[in-house]
Structure 1
Amino acid sequence: MNGDVLLTCPDLGLPLVHRGKVREMFDLGDRLLMVATDRLSAFDVVFPTGIPGKGRVLTELSVLWFRATESIVPNHVVTTSVAGLGLRPEHEALLAGRSVVVRRARRIDVECVVRGYLAGSGWKEYRQTGAVCGVKLPAGLSLNARLPEPIFTPALKNDVGHDENVTLDEVARRFGQETAFRLRDLSLALYRFAAERAERAGILLADTKLEFGWDGDRLILIDEAFTPDSSRYWPVERYRVGEPIDSLDKQPIRDWAEASGWNKEPPAPPLPPDRVAETAARYRSVLERLRPVLS
């Protein structure tokens, strides 16, 4: 395994608050240390093989987007430095570039999904109902068609298994109308900003998911922002309406898994080296394209 791959964190001498599919959260008192590992999940299952450099790509890209969008909504980032946390030198070196100290926030359990194009599960739902999460769309749209306007299609978060797509009305019923409308409006504003910046870099932001939390009575952006793990990125030169598009993310892994005969239940099988290398290259390419328009 490549020496840059961090599948699980070592014992940092800090209490582990949460272990997600990709990130691990450690207790710093009034703050948290968020570490992006190189783990990869597909079909809600974590694979035993990591993607070299993935955690560092996710961290740098998120931080660039957090900084670029601060005028739209504040976020949870305090610092990207791990100095002064009492870590051993070897742990500081291991975590550098893949860790962020963040504010504690009360997470709102809604995946704030924004779609600018008709793809993925949105396309499947549209074919069945003519709508996505209760948002009625024009008839006759094709796969990957650009929507007249970006739409907010939330989902209730589920840390085990699939998130549940719901309507804006259901979000309002659970979390209050004012919160639901703020989540929608902020998500759409962030998507429009990010889509415009990405297009400057030759990338189409087909859809994305965002997370928000409460810092006191202040709504802030948390978790990650516009990474290939949370966003569907298409190179402009590959964009086609009506046929599948090879996106700049873990699509090589999804394709291999679909063809492998694996039943999509744990445990996941080891990944072939060529698919690992191709996926790592795609993650790097997104960062390399976007860095100039975000720095």
Structure 2
Amino acid sequence: MKHLHSGKVRDLYQTDDGLLLMVASDRISAFDHVLTPDIPDKGTILTQMSLWWFEQLADVVPNHVAGPGPDGRSVLCRPLRMVPVECVARGYLTGSGLIDYRRDGEVSGVRLAPGLVDGSRLPEPVFTPSTKAAVGEHDEPISFERVVSEVGADVAEELRRITLAVYRRGAEIALERGIILADTKIELGWDADGVLTLGDEVLTPDSSRFWPLDRWEPGRQQPSFDKQYVRDWLTSPASGWDRASGEAPPPLPDDVVERTRDRYVEAYEKLTGQSFTG
């Protein structure tokens, strides 16, 4: 197979028959850095969760999956011409969206009601796209009008429709399992017939924020099933890391690695109803 690309988390290869093999590594990234050490089984968890979600979303949007790969962490995919926009949906206010809201009362050009706090549920999910940055660079929020200028009005409307439909289906399923889907980022591209198609991964702890419903309390940072635990450690005094220094983050301690893995496994098992066996 021909190696095509390595991202923060995934490696991409081209097979002899023209399909792509997408391999999810155990790498974990935060704040635009790939961290060390790896999180054991993370790649397998992400792949199996994505495959499960692709099935749940099959009637919402077509996807790029052509079949399982030779191991539990890889997927055979049809090639797509990717949309040059990160498609983000938010049902709750937190993270970078909260930072932008506190600064100017809006997220990606979407004006929100005053008085919202960390963890506030929005009246309706909103489409908050961003740029698609290269490895080591940071995605920046952009307005819907900017998306229109990038891809045209019709495509922009379809990106918004699909992104919000994926979010609503995911949030509905997660809520039935006692989990809040706070926000998610999806990747879309055109297939060989020009149909917008869901690619990459979908609704995993790497691309989404998952919160336990019974512990949701607006006004504070929420407990989570995703890599927010790693972000929190990196920004705590315990890490000794100054994010503004430009230096690489320190290695993750063993207990942070173990607890992060536990959160990924718990998210997989709660959402899919299946036991993770590695």
TM bin (shorter chain): over 0.9
How many Å apart are 1:263 and its aligned residue? 3.3
Matched, 1:221 2:198: yes
Task: Judge conservation of contact 1:31–1:103 (CA < 8 Å) in 2.
Answer: yes
- Residues 193 and 17 of structure 1, relative CA distance in 2, 3 Å threshold: same
| Structure 2: tracts of 5 or more residues without a match | none
Equivalents in 2 of 1:114, 1:253: separation in Å?
A: 22
Matched, 1:143 2:118: yes
Equivalents in 1 of 2:196, 2:210: separation in Å?
A: 27
- Describe the SS at the equivalent of 2:62: coil
Q: Which amino acid aligns with 1:256?
A: W
Matched, 1:103 2:78: yes
Matched, 1:61 2:42: no
Matched, 1:170 2:140: no
The alignment's TM-score, normalised by the length of structure 2, stands at: 0.93
Task: Judge conservation of contact 2:21–2:69 (CA < 8 Å) in 1.
Answer: no
- Describe the SS at the equivalent of 1:282: helix
Match for residue 112 of structure 1 among 65, 72, 87: 87
Q: Which amino acid aligns with 1:204?
A: I
- Describe the SS at the equivalent of 2:273: helix
Match for residue 15 of structure 2 among 28, 39, 43: 28
Instruction: Summarize the alignment of residues 203-282 of structure 1 with structure 2, pairs less than 5 Å apart.
Output: 203-216=179-192, 217-258=194-235, 259=237, 260-264=239-243, 265-282=246-263
Q: Which amino acid aligns with 2:272?
A: R
How many Å apart are 1:266 and its aligned residue? 5.0
Instruction: Summarize the alignment of residues 62-77 of structure 1 with structure 2, pairs less than 5 Å apart.
Output: 62-77=50-65
Task: Judge conservation of contact 1:208–1:232 (CA < 8 Å) in 2.
Answer: yes
Task: Judge conservation of contact 1:123–1:143 (CA < 8 Å) in 2.
Answer: yes
Task: Judge conservation of contact 2:92–2:182 (CA < 8 Å) in 1.
Answer: yes
How many Å apart are 1:25 and its aligned residue? 0.2
Task: Judge conservation of contact 1:45–1:266 (CA < 8 Å) in 2.
Answer: no
Match of 1:284 in 2: 265
Q: Which amino acid aligns with 1:273?
A: D
Equivalents in 1 of 2:256, 2:140: separation in Å?
A: 30
The root-mean-square deviation of aligned C-alpha atoms, in Å, is: 1.3
For this pair of structures, how many residues does the alignment match? Answer: 267
Equivalents in 1 of 2:156, 2:247: separation in Å?
A: 35
- Aligned identity (percent) is 48
How many Å apart are 1:147 and its aligned residue? 0.3
The alignment's TM-score, normalised by the length of structure 1, stands at: 0.88
- Describe the SS at the equivalent of 2:97: helix
Task: Judge conservation of contact 2:211–2:222 (CA < 8 Å) in 1.
Answer: yes
- Runs of 4+ that moved beyond 6 A: none
Match for residue 3 of structure 2 among 16, 31, 56: 16
Task: Judge conservation of contact 1:32–1:104 (CA < 8 Å) in 2.
Answer: yes
Q: Which amino acid aligns with 1:159?
A: A
